[in-house]
Amino acid sequence: MSTRTRADAAARRAARPAKTNRIGLEKTSYRGRPSTLCKGCGHDSISQRIVNAAWEMGLDQTQVVKLSGIGCSSKTPAYYLGWSHGFNSLHGRMPSVATGAVIANSSLEVIGVSGDGDTASIGIGQFKHAVRRNLPLIYIVENNGVYGLTKGQFSATADEGQFLKYQGVNDLPPLDICMEALTANATFVARSFAGDPKQLEALLKAAINHRGIAVLDIVSPCVTFNNHDTSTKSYGFGRANEIRLHDLNFVPEFEEIEIEDYEDELEVELHDGGSIVLKKIDPDHDPTDRTAAYNVIQQSLDEQKLITGLLYINEGEPTLTELLNLTDTPLTHLPDERLRPSREALEGVMATLA
Amino acid sequence: MSVAVREAPVVKPDAPAAVNDFAINVATANGSGSQTSNGVLLRALFKMGIPINGKNLFPSNIQGLPTWYIIRLSKDGFLARREITDIQVCMNGRTVAEDMERAAPGGIVIYDDSLPIANKRNDVTYYGMPVKDLVKEAKLPHALRDYVANMVYVGVLAELLGIEPAEIEAALLHHFEGKEKAAGLNMEMVNRAIDWASVHVGHHDGYRIERMTGFNEGKILVDGNTAGALGALAGGLSLASWYPITPSSSLAESIEKYAPALRTDPDTGKATVAVIQAEDELAAIGMVVGAGWTGARAMTCTSGPGISLMSEFAGLAYFAEVPAVIWDIQRMGPSTGLPTRTSQGDIHAAYYLGHGDTRHVVLFPANPAECFEFGRIAFDLAEELQTLVFVLSDLDLGMNAHISEPFAYSDAPFRRGKVLSAEDLEERQGSWGRYMDVDGDGVAYRTLPGTRHNMAAYFTRGTGHNEYGYYSERPDDWEQNLERLKRKFETARQLVPRPVLEEVEGAQVGIISLGSNHDGVDEARARLAATGLSTNYLRLRALPIDESVRRFIEENRTVFVIEANSDGQLHAILTTEEPAHALKLISMAKCDGLPLSARYIVEQVQEALEEELI
């Protein structure tokens, strides 16, 4: 038992120089407004992981935008990265807003947050099309299998046979967000658990440096409506049934970290710098192999296990903005004269209409 | 070769020869290549200096259903749809009977002689064209035969009426973008038809086409969708996202067509505009809102059903105050309606789109030059007012070719509105509120994502918010915000394009109309004036209305509100916004899928006169 007092701790904190990241900011600079979600909500842990990852990566928040749809999860962008522009848009429509933002200013780091209702029900179309376009976007699904803000209805990721107080038994099979992402040709598919901070932070950092769309399906228990142990989206289930495919480490390019050699270690270089190092627990899983990813997801469904980690990654595919062949200078930074035709060019078209 | 005998009408037209003043209706089957032949006819006439307009009445179908193309020639420059058909071309067996009935007494019917002909009238001249034989003799590649068959009527009309073959050839080259082989194949068919007609048809005494001057010089021939696309590209468009829907698709496709020539960055060879075909209209407008919020000029184009789908985002753009532009090329609703027929039925939908109390700026271009201009300034208005701006065109304006003034180049700076830079924020020491009405005009200051200042960020939401953009459910915050949005709408009244007024000394009857109705109104006013009734005319170019609309209503005894829908939507808006003058406003709403004709307007006004309404 500690004999140190609270006053001692405060004095020590004051004496110690504040810890800053590589752009000279303290972690507190990466916070947002106070959360209004229920105490213990998995979403708040995820917000905290975003704060940590962004701070440790030394992200310039002014070059980050936070987008969301509608729902409990979609409220969270107000709770982290207070210096970043945020847009709490429409239910299920975050991907289209993100598409416009990315095209307008391709230098922005875009973090989209959504929920299982927002993504797998009303927004399944936009979700899959954003994935198909390989939009440079971090797409976080805070997945709790239930509608929180409207007070506890089933979502499309709810377990088959699940019982909810007001709805009774769900007799439809769930949609699996990672499976949906994979079939839409996602280039980064990961599953994690709000109660697994270390893994989640490594995945977030890797997602930040991934070239195209990074889909993170994060099981995030709803403490109010869906946290009983029979739910695969509960803390209890997650803790008891999480199987990590690998130990994950993100190695940023600005840090020289010696990692001890591991058998079955795999290092994937990321397009925007750094690499993710996977120390395989399951020696059969190769995250650059799509078929292996399908198999892992199917296995987790069959065995009712929460298999977490980087399921699939492919750094080779061009992103939407690359395919559009836009100027390297973001469109929003181009001066007027570069955003309109020359007089001669317009007159050339006029001549064909005369 | 079969020999067509010229069948003289029993009743000879007594009227003097109509030179450059009649209408031709060409009946074909959809997908038979008639777009080429009709387009070539129109362009040849345009190049001969004749004021013309072509209206394509086409079915919602790829191939086979009947299509009509109506070419109006008017030496006096009246280019509305003419209800009388002087010359009927029949190329479609399924409609030949009713098509032949359409020809006015004294008119001409030209028909493919292989079609089943029932009874012939004795007040019309008939010419049967041996289309099959002429095509066979031309020994064309098999796959092309059906497509060039329509060139037979082009040649026959040329010989009969006096269209210069050289202009037909030039128009073909233009159509095939200089590809001589394709143009040559078609011209060969035209020439064969001319040769045949010179022997078997000859020139017509009643109807003549003669080269003229004074109208088309310096002008261009273009459809409104092309014009809108060019205007947007000239106005700094950075993202066009769209979902295919008739009749707006050709606007997006024109952007794609002209973007490489107009918007390739000369220094890098890269694109300065993106075009995305979205998965649906919700995504299309979502992308526009995302780009507008980030600081780019973005637009989508759609038609009625797409507008319905965009409703939720329209409300968000209004309430979160995000610049965005939607082009609505109106077609006939409700529901899927008549997808290939023109209408002005979305005036209400566009003005009020969204739930809760919502009103949008709506622009009404009337001709291609205005489509171009509004294509550009819609972005200025959207950014200055930080709101959604609609441009309401319609199928007739958007898809049919019209004679237009060439589009004026502008290098005026884009009006970007109130945007705070990092330096501005430094000066204000970071103190600002996203929804704070600093200037009293209802328009607050915004920052763009990516602004390098740690006080630049704000949180955008469709939920209730206070002056700083923070979530608020306070009644006073809510009311103040809506009051400010109303002030902003008053500012919009001052910024939108003013109505165009044509006033006549002593006239007491007014007409208010909008958009593509102009040609019909213009001609109707001339005809009414000839009967002794002069009228004043206000062509509305935008909502919200400004002071001049009220003055116009005040100054006239009676005002007809003419529009192409069933409920009289503009009439209802004017009645609501100028209730003191409501009884002066008479709704004249026509909704049959066709562009308004002068005849309809004249008859309605005269009827009202007889009923002593005015």
Torsion angle, CA of B349/B350/B354/B355, rounded to 10 degrees?
Answer: -50
Would B6 be classed as within a structural domain?
no
Listed in sequence order, the residues at least 6 apart from B417 whose beta carbon sits closer than 8 Å to its beta carbon are B323, B383, B384, B385, B386, B443, B446
Mean pLDDT of B26-47: 94
Whole-angstrom Cα distance, residue A128 to residue A300? 21
Peptide bond into B497 cis (omega under 30): no
**Residue A62: its chain B contacts at CB < 8 A?**
450-454, 456-457
pTM comes to: 0.95
Contact between residue B360 and residue B580 where contact means Cβ atoms under 8 Å apart: no
Tell whether B98 and B177 lie within a shared domain.
Answer: yes
Given a cut of 90, whether residue B373 has pLDDT beyond it is yes
Could you read off the pLDDT of B381-418 as tens digits, one per residue?
A: 999 999 999 999 999 999 999 999 999 999 999 999 99
Whole-angstrom Cα distance, residue B610 to residue B587? 16
Q: Give residue B13's pLDDT.
A: 40
Q: Give residue B14's pLDDT.
A: 44
Q: Give residue B2's pLDDT.
A: 40
Query: What residues does each domain of chain A span?
Result: 33-327
Q: Between vectors from CA B606 to CA B604 and to CA B609, what angle results, nearest 5°?
A: 110
Amino acid at B263: R
**What percentage of residues in chain B have a pLDDT greater than 90?**
90
Mean pLDDT of B328-348: 97
CATH 3.30.565.10 fits A33-327, yes or no: no
**Residue of B273, B275, B459 to mutate when probing chain A, most A C-beta within 10 A:** B459
Would B4 be classed as within a structural domain?
no
Given a cut of 80, whether residue B495 has pLDDT beyond it is yes
Would B387 be classed as within a structural domain?
yes
Would B506 be classed as within a structural domain?
yes
3-state secondary structure A262-310: CCCEEEEECCCCCEEEEEECCCCCCCCCHHHHHHHHHHHHHHCCEEEEE
Residue among A62, A97, A348 whose CB faces B286 most closely: A97
Give the phi and the psi of residue B73 in degrees, each rounded to 5: -110, 130
Would B263 be classed as within a structural domain?
yes
Given a cut of 50, whether residue B1 has pLDDT beyond it is no
Residue among B271, B413, B460 whose CB faces A88 most closely: B460
Residue among B239, B270, B451 whose CB faces A62 most closely: B451
Mean pLDDT of B508-528: 97
Partner-chain contact B286 A353, CB within 8 Å: no
Residues of chain B by 3-state class (helix, strand, coil), percent to 5: 40, 20, 40
Which position has the higher pLDDT, A251 or B369?
A: B369
Where in the sequence is the domain holding B165, given as residue range(s)? Answer: 18-208
Tell whether B26 and B134 lie within a shared domain.
Answer: yes
Whole-angstrom Cα distance, residue A201 to residue B164? 76
CATH number at residue B267: 3.40.50.970
**Among residues B478, B495, B512, which one ends one of the domains?**
B495
CA nearest neighbour of B262 among A342, A338, A330: A342
Would B213 be classed as within a structural domain?
no
Mean pLDDT of B162-177: 97
Give the phi and the psi of residue B291 in degrees, each rounded to 5: -70, -40
Tell whether B99 and B156 lie within a shared domain.
Answer: yes
- Give me A195's structure tokens: 């109660």
Give the phi and the psi of residue B373 in degrees, each rounded to 5: -65, -45
Q: Give residue B6's pLDDT.
A: 41
Whole-angstrom Cα distance, residue A126 to residue A68? 13
The structural domain count of chain B equals 4
Q: Does A353 touch chain B (CB under 8 A)?
A: yes
CATH number at residue B508: 3.40.50.920
Listed in sequence order, the residues at least 6 apart from B404 whose beta carbon sits closer than 8 Å to its beta carbon are B219, B220, B221, B222, B227, B367, B368, B369
Mean pLDDT of B152-165: 97
Per the prediction, chain B carries an average pLDDT of 94
Whether this model's ipTM surpasses 0.90 comes out as yes
Given a cut of 50, whether residue B10 has pLDDT beyond it is no
Taking only residues 96 to 125 of chain A, the set having a beta carbon closer than 8 angstroms to any beta carbon of chain B reads 96-105, 107-108, 125
**Residue of A33, A75, A87, A94 to mutate when probing chain B, most B C-beta within 10 A:** A87
- Of A220-224, B3-7, B80-84, B521-525, the least confident: B3-7
Tell whether B199 and B256 lie within a shared domain.
Answer: no
Q: Give residue A5's pLDDT.
A: 63
Tell whether B187 and B269 lie within a shared domain.
Answer: no
Q: Hunting for tokens 């109208």 — which residue is that?
A: B215
Q: Give residue A2's pLDDT.
A: 46
Work out the pLDDT band at B8, boundaries 50, 70, 90. very low
Q: Does A226 touch chain B (CB under 8 A)?
A: no
**Residue B262: its chain A contacts at CB < 8 A?**
341, 345-346, 349
Which position has the higher pLDDT, B142 or B320?
A: B320
Whole-angstrom Cα distance, residue B327 to residue B300? 6
Nearest CA of chain B to the CA of A1: how many Å?
Answer: 42
Partner-chain contact A332 B447, CB within 8 Å: no
**Beta-carbon pairs below 8 A across chains A and B:** 225
- Of A133-137, B122-126, B417-421, the least confident: B122-126
- In chain A, which stretches have pLDDT less than 50? 1-2, 259
Partner-chain contact A350 B407, CB within 8 Å: yes
Tell whether B461 and B342 lie within a shared domain.
Answer: no
Would B378 be classed as within a structural domain?
yes
Q: Give residue B204's pLDDT.
A: 78
- Give me B93's structure tokens: 């067996």
Q: Give residue B296's pLDDT.
A: 98
Instruction: Name the closest residue on chain B to residue A60, using Cα atoms.
Output: B452
Would B216 be classed as within a structural domain?
no
Q: Does B170 touch chain A (CB under 8 A)?
A: no
CATH number at residue B149: 3.40.920.10
